[in-house]
């Protein structure tokens, strides 16, 4: 009980002394703002250190798009994992069922790599004029 009383008195004395000081000047406010900014940056570093770095895009239950007749697609980007934002990459995992088709697409500001791990497919790539540059 004595310890609690001493703590309470100490806090009260500190509060009384704080009221005696004049308000902070503009220079003091700038220093305080800088300290707050540094704390915020430290918080960002801690966020990166504790961020998730693992995501299973092969899990059918986390698919972003699913069709019972065509297949499923799972995407990994900076919206569901912070690491792709740092390295400026994303990944897409697609599973096509028999008879499914991947429609033509292009990316205006990036390269796309398609990696097939099994099955059979007919792949055709055309240039700007519609001429085949790859037909297998």
- Closest to 67 measured CA to CA, from 98, 104, 105: 98
Average per-residue pLDDT in the chain?
71
- The reply to whether 110 falls in a domain is yes
pTM: 0.50
DSSP 21: S
Is it the case that residue 114 has pLDDT exceeding 80?
no
Over range 51-67, report the average pLDDT.
83
User: Are residues 72 and 42 part of one domain?
Assistant: no
Rounded-to-integer distance, Cα 32 and Cα 41, Å: 14
29 & 82 share domain = no
Structural domain containing residue 14: 2-50
31 and 77 within one domain: no
SS3 113: coil
**82: how many CB neighbours lie within 10 A of its CB?**
13
Is residue 35 within 8 A of residue 28, CB to CB? The reply is no
Examine residue 55 and state whether it is found in any structural domain, yes or no. Answer: no
Question: In whole angstroms, what is the distance from residue 72 CA to residue 123 CA?
Answer: 19
pLDDT band at 133 (very low <50, low <70, confident <90, very high): very high
Nearest-10 Cα torsion for 35, 36, 41, 42? 70
Clarify whether residues 74 and 110 are in a common domain: yes
Please check whether residue 124 is in contact with residue 101, taking contact to mean a CB–CB distance below 8 angstroms: no
Give residue-wise pLDDT tens across range 11-42: 555 444 444 544 555 545 544 444 454 455 55
Can you tell me the mean pLDDT for 73-94?
81
d(CA 56, CA 54): 7
Residues 65 and 131 in one domain: yes
């Amino acid at each position: 009980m004595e310890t609690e009383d001493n703590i309470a008195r100490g806090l009260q004395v500190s509060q009384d002394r704080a009221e005696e000081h004049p308000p902070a000047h503009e220079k003091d406010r700038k220093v305080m703002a800088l300290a707050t900014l540094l704390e915020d940056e430290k918080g960002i570093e801690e966020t990166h250190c504790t961020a998730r770095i693992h995501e299973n895009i092969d899990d059918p239950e986390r698919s972003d798009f699913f069709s019972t007749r065509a297949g499923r697609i799972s995407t990994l980007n900076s919206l569901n994992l912070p690491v792709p934002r740092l390295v400026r990459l994303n990944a897409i995992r697609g599973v096509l069922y028999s008879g499914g088709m991947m429609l033509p697409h292009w990316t205006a500001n990036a390269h796309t790599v398609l990696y097939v791990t099994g099955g059979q497919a007919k792949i055709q790539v055309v240039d700007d004029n519609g001429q085949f540059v790859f037909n297998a």
